[in-house]
Amino acid sequence: MYDYTQALRRSELSRARWRRPAEVSLLGREWTLLPNVFSPADTNSSLTHLELLDFPVGGSFLEIGSGMGIIAVHAALAGCRSVVATDLNPAAVENTARNAERFGVADRVRCVHSDLFDQLPEHATFDVVYWHSNNVWTPPSVPLDNVHALAYVDPGYAAHRRFFQQAPGHRAPGGRVLLAVSSRASRSDLDELAARAGQRLHSVKATTVPEPEGPVVYELLEVVPG
């Protein structure tokens, strides 16, 4: 059975693999990957959720946890008027900025070092608020020795609790709050946390992908008023 120990091990292996700046080939493009940044090349999750996403062409897009920037850059390439990409890992913020420059969308992608919404203006709103979350629950007492691990796990689901409380306030009129998760998440706990914030989780799209540990369901959820 997959649990948080396997997620932490995947983080360790990824960090060991990408010790130096590198380039990774994804979707027919070469991407800059800096050390200590989550790599979509190590898992099917980012590319699968990219296929599930519909970008607000001509609108605004906020990505929480941008990593190397593959979602944020594609949002701009797809025609979003403005993209804000945040991450709590400073290396990921720099990595997203480099890839936005590399693919000619730096004028539309603003990169912000932020823990969820902390460094965004209180009343900033977006047509889509998107988070491919670190949806594997981990006991709060487990020590994490590297910020990279927080791309995989969320101790005590503390970040998800804050997301459900704060994200609706950043949704523009007629906009959407989207949460990308996998079947490795504790869906019952996420439903409960959303309900405590006056929200509920609605399944938008899902697909099953084979992984080394067995089939994984990747699901795009919408956070809607409860």
Beta bridge partners of 202: 222
Whether the Cβ atoms of residue 49 and residue 117 lie closer than 8 Å to each other: no
23 CB burial (10 A radius; 0-12, 13-18, 19+): exposed
Compute, in degrees rounded to 10, the torsion defined by CA atoms 100, 52, 170, 197: -140
Strands (E), the chain: 22-26, 29-33, 60-64, 82-87, 109-113, 126-132, 136-138, 153-155, 171-182, 199-209, 216-225
**For the segment 171-205, what is each residue's pLDDT rounded down to a tens digit?**
999 999 999 999 999 999 999 999 999 999 999 99
Bridge partners of residue 184, in order along the sequence: none
Name the maximum alpha-carbon separation found in the chain: 45
Determine how β-strand 60-64 pairs with β-strand 82-87.
parallel
Q: Are strands 136-138 and 199-209 parallel, antiparallel or unpaired?
A: unpaired
Beta carbons within 10 angstroms of residue 94's beta carbon: 18
Map out the domains of the chain as residue ranges. 4-225
Contact assessment for residue 55 and residue 178, using Cβ atoms and an 8 Å cutoff: no
| CB-based contact 196:146 (threshold 8 Å) | no
Question: Regarding the domain delimited by 4-225, which CATH topology (the fold level of the hierarchy) does it fall under?
Answer: Rossmann fold (3.40.50)
| Structure-model confidence comparison of residues 52 and 8, the more confident one | 52
pLDDT of residue 197: 98
For the segment 80-133, what is each residue's pLDDT rounded down to a tens digit?
A: 999 999 999 999 999 999 999 999 999 999 999 999 999 999 999 999 999 999
Specify the pTM. 0.94
- Element (DSSP H or E) covering residue 191: helix 187-196
Summarised one tens digit per residue, pLDDT across range 90-102 is 999 999 999 999 9
Sole residue written with tokens 């001509």 = 58
Q: Looking at the chain, how many residues does it have?
A: 226
Average pLDDT over residues 17-45: 90
